[in-house]
Chains A and B, each alone.
Chain A
Amino acid sequence: MVEWTDFERATIQEIFSKIDSGVVGPAALSRCLIVYPWTQRYFGSFGNLYNAAAITSNPKVAAHGKVVIGGLEKAVKNMDDIKTTYKDLSVLHSDKLRVDPDNFNLLADCLTIVVASQMGQAFTPDVQAAFQKFLAVVVASLRKQYH
């Protein structure tokens, strides 16, 4: 069981209540596809991903970015048992989507950077630690059902 301090709980709730999922999700996913281009392998059906401008303006990327944030919001609502909450999502990523789980860390890093640029100085070292701990638990839960 993951132990969350009061500060960590409050910080995660606050971040997700403050960020605009319609902005952060698309920004993080498009950044991931640009900074780590091999992640594009999972989005063959998304159309034009030929350059940064195409990726940033691609409506399917934007829509999927929102889906990803929606998934994270589920974890925020169930912080005390993300592992169980994500059981089906983990099976989906493993058996159907067949995503190399190392990619989860790449998207997590892009999310950290996008949230940092949105929050500015409010993204203190302690806030960063809480956010990265949350993402680490999310990633571990998504990896859990891989076999």
Chain B
Amino acid sequence: MSLTAKNKDTVRTFWAKVSSNAEAIGADALSRMLVVYPQTKTYFSHWKDLSPGSSPVKKHGATVMAGVADAVAKIDNLTAGLLNLSELHAFTLRVDPANFKVLSHNILVVLAIMFPSDFTPEVHVAMDKFLSAVALALSEKYR
């Protein structure tokens, strides 16, 4: 299910529209993930405050979305482009890759909330494919 040229254009166009809200998107998506999928809290036991909109959640949401922005820029070769991030997730963070799908879902929910008329079914499928491709690139170095 690789990204078609049309998918890439859709992602780039949509990202250009929403990227100024990247930090808010990240904070909300991460907040939701921690509430709706409590098992994900196990990765953040070192944070003082895991509640929605808390300062570590906001900060980390911004970090994650900076990664997504980077991926948009490197959309033509995600595996090569995200190699360092993959090594980080594989060797240091050791996040179970099933969780990439969980966070992706929450990013899509936030996009639907924040951009209801822009997040059409066509944009939805392109973004879903893109986030899946990002997850695959992040899993590259796991084993």
Residue positions of A touching B, CB distance < 8 A = 30-31, 34-35, 52, 55-56, 109, 112-114, 116-121, 123-126, 128-129, 132
Contact = CB atoms under 8 A, between A and B. Distances in A.
Given A117-B119, A132-B36, A34 B113 contact: no
A120 B114 CA distance: 7
B139 interface: no
Determine chain A's interface SS by DSSP, over half rule.
Answer: helix
B35 A128 contact: yes
14 contacts: A34-B121, A34-B124, A55-B121, A113-B112, A113-B119, A119-B113, A125-B31, A125-B32, A125-B35, A126-B35, A128-B35, A129-B35, A129-B36, A132-B36
A31 B121 contact: yes
Nearest to B128: A35
B108 interface: yes
- Chain B contact-residue range equals 10 to 19
B113 A52 contact: no
Interface in B100-121: 105, 108-109, 112-113, 116, 119-121
B107 to A, nearest CB: 11
